[in-house]
Amino acid sequence: MTDAVKGPASYFPSIEKKYGQPIEHWLALVATKTELKHMEIVAWLKTDFGLGHGHANAIVAYVLAGLKKGA
């Protein structure tokens, strides 16, 4: 039995399907903007790439949480 994916990563399959790029594409893009605040990165994804708020927020939260764990 496998555990269901929870948290921001639970959005990844729908992000890939809706926007036609692998999640690694979006994670790499966000990794280039970590000097910005969370909501600034969300706004950038929404404005420049047309991502919905929930999808953009999930990607940013995932990347930034990973940075905190690695710090």
Alpha carbon distances (Å) from 68 to 3, 16, 34, 44, 53: 24, 25, 11, 21, 22
Average confidence score pLDDT of the chain: 93
- pTM exceeds 0.75, yes or no: yes
- Confidence (pLDDT) at 70: 65
- Confidence (pLDDT) at 29: 98
